[in-house]
Every structure is written in structure tokens, then in C-alpha cells.
Amino acid sequence: MNPAVYPREPTVAQLLIGLMHDAETLLRQEVALAKHEIRVEFRNTIRAVMSLGLGLGIAAIGGWLLILMLVHLLHALTPLPLWVCYGIVGGLCAAGGIVLLVLGKQKLARLHVVPQQTVETMQENVQWITAQVRANGASKSSR
């Protein structure tokens, strides 16, 4: 065998250095991915909260005007006292407001605070690194 024809196998130290370099690069990429996912989720959270707040404000203004209109319309069309008309219309508006709050809460519940994709890839990377270390250790110990 001519040693010039066949390249020399890397040493255990070289393999471990390469593995550490790959793990460091992978960790940097995972951190960058996590930052990106957090930014995206933060933007989505801001949009959801803004939508919820804007919807609540507009509904409150419209509700207030409708309350006044409907109360007086109900009072004009029925023999009910004005305070009963206010109670009926106020109860209906409160029920509508509760529905809007429940819908907003459901929208917020669908947001992910923890970056799911990053967690999954980190788990895969840990498994891969563990397998590499075990494979390198097993191949070196069998020699």
C-alpha cells in the first residue's frame, strides 16, 4: 500500500473539533431561526391585539348609539316604561360584547409563544449530534 494514494483517517481530536464546529454553527442557525419565529409571532400578536382593541372600540361607539336609538324606538312602539326598554337593549348589547370578547380570546389562544419549528429542529439536532458522538466513539473503540 502506498500511503500517498490513500488519505490518512482523521484523528479523534480532529473529529471532535469538526463535530464541535458543526454543533456551534447549528446552534447559531437555531438561534437565528428562533429570533425570526419570535419576531413573526410578536407581529401576529400585535395584529391580533390591535384588531381586538379596534373592534372593541368601534363596537362600543356603535353600541352606545344603537342603545340610545333602540331604547327610544322600543319605548315608542311598546307600552313598556323607558327603564325596561333600557334594560332589554342593554342586555342584548352586553351579550353581543361577550361574543366579541370570546372570539378575540380564541384568536389569541391560537398564537404560539414558543417557536415550534425551532424546538422541533433543536430536538432533531440533539438526536443527530448524540448519534454522531456514539458512532465516532464506537468506531474508535473497536479498533
pLDDT tens by residue, 35-82 = 999 999 999 999 999 999 999 999 889 878 878 998 999 999 999 999
Domain boundaries, the chain: 33-132
Q: Which residue has better confidence, 115 or 42?
A: 42
From the CB of residue 128, how many other CB atoms can be counted at a distance below 10 Å?
A: 13
Contact indicator for 74, 89 with CB cutoff of 8 Å: yes
How many CB atoms within 10 Å of residue 138? 9
Given a cut of 90, whether residue 13 has pLDDT beyond it is: no
Dig out the grid coordinates for 72 from the structure.
Answer: 327610544
The pLDDT of residue 140 is 59
Query: Global pTM?
Result: 0.41
Which is higher by pLDDT, 100 or 5?
100
Give percent of the chain with pLDDT exceeding 70: 90
More confident call, 98 vs 62: 98
| Average pLDDT estimate for 108-128 | 82
Any idea how long the chain is? 143
pLDDT for res 113? 73
Q: What is the mean pLDDT of the chain?
A: 85
Q: What is the pLDDT of residue 61?
A: 92
The mean pLDDT value for 8-12 works out to: 83
Confidence at residue 100, expressed as pLDDT on a 0 to 100 scale: 93
